[in-house]
A and B are shown apart, each in its own frame.
Chain A
């Protein structure tokens, strides 16, 4: 029974979670696009020589605001540092997971590790812990809702199981023996829809940790379209409104 459950988590649920996530993200974006926009500008005017003139490249300016968060840097530099660490690390982790596919080789195929040799995972863990702890302090505590904590806890659980997998490789002689290539074989089977049992690629006694990591990631994909993570798609359009 447990084997069947793990198989469900590791293979069919991954497809279902991805499909669910993509479909709902598309639905959410279409829903926003179909809603009529407000006439008139919502612009905040910059200082300088020609404050009345909108920026020459408003989309580029909005993308700059969305990716570099200058307002946070100005008003809360410590948070900004952790936000940068978090977002860059997440981008690297996405890249590292893509790199697991045998067709991509950013890290050598023979490498035991993913991109960053485990450091990226630690960086994102530390930043999530910072985000979580600051929510226990006034005044951020007063404006936080349960979803804010739960989402951070879910993310923390995902990256910590990832950390265990990544760092476990060097913990003991008979510890993790799952290499980038092994993960790559599992990824490849998913990409090719072979529906193979992942156990044939991911051997060892730590399969449950990998299973937990995938289960939590599946859950994350399921909740993502209904969570504030959707700001990943709307940060630039919102900033565009401010830029004019």
Chain B
């Protein structure tokens, strides 16, 4: 690696060294308690796939370039030089981890692997080693924001088709815009995945509740965050923030997308609107009697997979369960659940960035966990988890139906 290249990459590393990252890098005692936390290690027994081993790949660089001990006795903490070979280890840190932060619930200090992972991701972007499918998607999202009028026009055409389908399927509904777009001063701005499978059930539920809402023309998912690019992440979420501010909405409701929710709720800071998940909104409708659900429509037992970014990293645990208990009397928990739930293995953009073989290999514990429930339906509240669970279902022959919670609610919806 050329000296100038090395210097540039180390500069990117230095830019990421905020207070929390420094504390996370400096204070690990390598006690190994976090080892058992990772689904990838639990599935493979490979120590490379542990929080501490992934962090060590960055910590050893930090030791060499930022620590006194690394200068006087590099062997003490195994300080390493940055070179092409080590960049492979940096890649391992960034893209063998889903950023589920389960390890934080094991670590006695709460060391945040995702923060350390952010250094790795920034360096990979700098070295042009970022996973291109993620980069392409992130760029496309930014492009949509920059060409706003064209985006709106194209999206309106798509929505028109979905509207027509809704009227055809549910002719009794009408008298109002089934999928309102670009409406100001509404109570709810719903941010979907900007695709029919995400818009259709949401529109049915929102309309059934007689919600005063409008649909965002942007997709919720933030590929910039998966990629680890701070500037891209900001550009992508800023599109939605600007839209919400321009439309002067009261609540921003995020569809079933864990990362989008965490960013909008916990990263962007306080805004003039509240941010909630669709699960919280549906739960509110059920409690207030604004929607009616028929428990006989969904057959079999239902279990729930807590998406890491919504549950452990977002604090939404009970609302999705309340929704499911409203559509069935046969709800069963998987073990462990809530904060301790195993990651699906597809988060952090790995559904797109990682090889399917790797995702399946490192998610054996998740498949075993689902199998142990003997459930007929596995519901979740995150599109990434949904995609990964479907792959697991096929690969491990779990013979379950994988569904989003909102799909089940829409299915059980009694439209009056």
Chain A binding surface, main DSSP class: helix
User: Could you tell me the distance in whole angstroms from the C-beta of A56 to the nearest C-beta in chain B?
Assistant: 16
- B76 contact from A41, A43, A76, A147, Cβ within 8 A: A147
List the B side residues contacting A33 at CB < 8 Å.
19
List the B side residues contacting A146 at CB < 8 Å.
75-78
- Give the size of the chain A interface in residues (CB under 8 angstroms): 51
- A235 contact from B50, B109, B267, Cβ within 8 A: B109
Asked if A140 is at the interface (CB within 8 A of a chain B CB), the reply is: yes
Q: In the docked arrangement, what's the CA distance between A41 and B20, Å?
A: 11
- A79 contact from B33, B52, B67, Cβ within 8 A: B33
Q: Let me know if A230 and B27 touch, CB within 8 A.
A: yes
Task: Name the residue in B23, B31, B50, B105 with the highest tally of chain A Cβ atoms < 10 Å from its Cβ.
Answer: B31
Asked if B101 is at the interface (CB within 8 A of a chain A CB), the reply is: yes
Q: Let me know if A143 and B35 touch, CB within 8 A.
A: yes
Q: Let me know if A35 and B19 touch, CB within 8 A.
A: yes
Q: In the docked arrangement, what's the CA distance between A152 and B68, Å?
A: 20
User: Could you tell me the distance in whole angstroms from the C-beta of B144 to the nearest C-beta in chain A?
Assistant: 24
Q: Let me know if A139 and B35 touch, CB within 8 A.
A: yes
Asked if A133 is at the interface (CB within 8 A of a chain B CB), the reply is: no
Task: Name the residue in A36, A45, A52, A138 with the highest tally of chain B Cβ atoms < 10 Å from its Cβ.
Answer: A45
Q: In the docked arrangement, what's the CA distance between A148 and B111, Å?
A: 18
Q: Let me know if A242 and B315 touch, CB within 8 A.
A: no
List the A side residues contacting B107 at CB < 8 Å.
71
For A232, the closest partner residue in chain B by CB is B27
In the complex, number of A-B residue pairs with CB atoms less than 8 Å apart: 151
List the B side residues contacting A35 at CB < 8 Å.
17-19, 22
- Give the size of the chain B interface in residues (CB under 8 angstroms): 56
List the A side residues contacting B112 at CB < 8 Å.
42, 241-242
- B22 contact from A32, A76, A145, A148, Cβ within 8 A: A32
List the A side residues contacting B163 at CB < 8 Å.
none
Given contacts A71-B105, A71-B107, contact A238 B27 (CB under 8 A): yes
Q: In the docked arrangement, what's the CA distance between A108 and B104, Å?
A: 45
For B41, the closest partner residue in chain A by CB is A139
Binary CB contact string for chain B from 255 to 268 against chain A (1 if under 8 A, 0 otherwise): 00000000000111
- A44 contact from B23, B52, B110, Cβ within 8 A: B110
List the A side residues contacting B115 at CB < 8 Å.
38, 42
Q: Let me know if A44 and B69 touch, CB within 8 A.
A: no
Q: Let me know if A231 and B311 touch, CB within 8 A.
A: no
Q: In the docked arrangement, what's the CA distance between A42 and B262, Å?
A: 10
